[in-house]
Amino acid sequence: MPGGRRGDRRVETIASTQGQPGSTRQPTSACELPGYLEGVLRSLLARWRSHVTGTDPTPMVVAVRLIVLAGVLITVPFAQPHLGAGGRGVALAITLGVVIASWIFWMLSQGSQPRTAAALAVMGLAGGVLAGLSPLSPAVAIGCVVTAAAGVRLRTETSLAITAITVAAFLAASLAAGGVPPQTLVGYPFAWVGLWGFGLTRHAYLLRAEQAERTLAEARRAHEAETHAAALAERARIAREIHDVLAHSLAAVSVNLQAAEGLLGTLRSGDAELAKAIECISRAGVLTRAGMAEARRAIQALRDDAVPLADQLSALAKEWEADGGVPADFSVIGSARTVSAEAGLTAFRTAQEALTNARKHAPGQPVRLSLEFSATDVAVGVVNQMSAVADDGSMPPSVGTGYGLKGLRERAVLTGGTLIAGPADGEWRVCLRIPA
């Protein structure tokens, strides 16, 4: 509290590891700005999540593809015919180079349908020729990878064309080279067509999964909108009940107190007991009108057409300055926006309690009230000079039980925020930061 002992440098915090904002320069707000390192880490984490949740193949799929490519590069040169041996060997070396180049281009083109289709078409053509020139080597794996990947990633017409190119290139190269067993001529195309069909099944499964995810997301949004609408309707009903019961009752009590004060004022004067009764009635009227104002604020907080938070705090600062005759500087940092009713009520109550404590424990000291809007949260800060040491050397009076700040801490926790209150550089600072 503002009137705490100067030697007590403890900063009260709740659900937060932040320290007191003890800086030698004059702070713009009672709250610290988010750290630079924290912002960098959040940005990197967001980029990593975006990459992980994208449509790129998983690391396991990439590893399998690299293993297949390595197996082909290692085994094909040792099969018959050898690379560079005669015209068939030269053709084998050229097609193997084309396969490697198109494979690398394919792996670098993930996420682009045209480039992927072009890379798979070239790789299927070269792989079919490679399998026809070297039918007894693992070159058949090239066609298997091409047809399966085309069926999974591309449209049906495009993947069918790539599969046909692979089969045609194999049959043409096999018939041109000669010596290919009939079972190989039949078996390889059937294997590739079968893998293409498997790819189509996988493609349909992925489409259904994406559609199911979109449907689920839409259902969740609809449910959230329905729940929000129901909550707004219930809050409006509660606001009407409060207005009809509490506000009307307080208004009736205020009218009766004013009438009683007027009747007592007509009686003979000079009676001490009568004067005391009039004073009590007058005080009760003031408390009743204050309770009516609080009831109106509570009703506004429950309704979705509440006054903007910046306007509420500005009016609160003007009211505090008018009542005490002490300057109250109010400032808004950042672009003001609409906040939820719970966040707005918590921020208003925090500022109200902090200003009350400043008037009680540091009378006559000016106050700075700030409202800060950031990208993810809203902060309310109240700063006032602490009471000086008395002339006799005694310290300012104790702050008492501190149940006001305790209640504000509980409010902050319920809204997922943090509350920091404590002395710093001869000032008492109260900072509330809540997500909004």
CA atoms of 18 and 264, how far apart (whole Å): 57
Mind listing the domains of the chain with CATH numbers? Answer: 1-48+308-436 (3.30.565.10), 57-218 (no CATH)
pLDDT at 167: 92
Cα 264 to the center of its chain, rounded Å: 61
Q: How many residues does the chain have?
A: 436
pLDDT at 371: 94
pLDDT at 368: 92
Tens digit of pLDDT at every position of the chain (436 positions): 444 433 333 333 333 333 333 333 344 455 644 444 444 444 444 443 433 333 456 777 777 778 877 877 777 777 676 666 677 778 888 888 888 888 888 888 777 788 888 989 998 998 888 888 888 778 888 888 899 888 888 888 999 999 999 999 999 988 888 878 888 888 889 999 998 998 889 888 888 888 899 999 999 999 988 887 887 777 777 777 776 667 667 766 777 777 777 767 666 666 777 777 777 777 777 777 777 777 776 666 666 556 788 888 998 898 888 887 888 899 999 988 888 877 888 888 899 888 888 888 888 889 999 999 998 899 999 999 886 543 444 434 334 344 577 778 888 888 889 999 888 888 899 999 998 7
